[in-house]
Amino acid sequence: MDTPGTPQGDAPAPSPCDPSTDVVYYIEEPKAGTPNRLRRGDRESSRGAIFMSQTSTVTEAASDDIDDLDGELPRVTQLTEAHRNAIRAIRKIKYFVARRKFQQARKPYDVRDVIEQYSQGHLNMMVRIKELQRRLDQTLGKPGSYLAGIDRVGNVKPMTVGARLYRVEQQLGLMDKKLDALTYVLNALAQKQQISPQPVENDV
């Protein structure tokens, strides 16, 4: 219906609560508390944006770490059973060596060990002395072997240094005796020659 005072070509403006229209228009008037609400919404939106940016950076960093781990995984080698057994054996050997050293370090002072070591050292010294004496006997000869170079059976004894020195001494003694005899004979001849010319001179 056309209302008086209104042009025919103009349609009435729809009211916000008109049930005949499909679209509902709602005009919000500004109130005293509206700016604060808007600011709070802005804050929440900004916080959401920051949180999203942080989560995005964290996920990117985590993805980078995962990529790094994926790149390092091939470097890790898995030990075989033989390698494990070898490592166990080495560890056991080190443990036994360390335990033995520890037991030796905490071992109390024993007199019997000292006496045994002293007796062993004395025995070694006696063995060395006997070996030295044997070599001297082979080189110089025993005191009883200086007298003759032939044993009781008739075999010639080995000529040691002592036997050779003994023979040299005997020969020197014989040479001294011969020289003494020669000097005695020469003195006797000299005396005879001095005595024999005197009677001839007297006769003349």
Domain boundary among 72, 95, 120: 72
- Over the stretch 16-70, which tens digit does the pLDDT of each residue have? 445 454 544 545 555 544 444 445 555 555 555 555 555 555 455 555 555 555 5
Q: Are 127 and 143 in contact (CB under 8 A)?
A: no
Domain tally, the chain:
2
73 vs 95, higher pLDDT: 95
- The single residue listed with the structure tokens 């006696």 is 126
β-partners of residue 156 are 150
Q: What is the phi/psi pair of residue 76, to 5°?
A: -75, 125
Residue 99, in any domain of the structure = no
In order of 149, 166, 172, 180, 187, the CA distances from 175 in angstroms are 20, 14, 5, 8, 18
Beta strands in 6-96 (DSSP E): none
Range of the domain at 167: 143-192
- Over the stretch 163-192, which tens digit does the pLDDT of each residue have? 778 788 989 999 999 999 999 999 999 998
Residue 66, in any domain of the structure = yes
pLDDT of residue 3: 47
State yes or no: pLDDT of 162 exceeds 50: yes
Q: Are 26 and 16 in contact (CB under 8 A)?
A: yes
Residue 95, in any domain of the structure = no
Cα 52 from Cα 62, distance rounded (Å): 15
Domain boundary among 44, 72, 100: 72
Residue 161, in any domain of the structure = yes
- Over the stretch 102-134, which tens digit does the pLDDT of each residue have? 988 877 767 787 888 889 999 999 999 999 998
Cα 162 from Cα 146, distance rounded (Å): 6
- What does pTM read for this prediction? 0.29
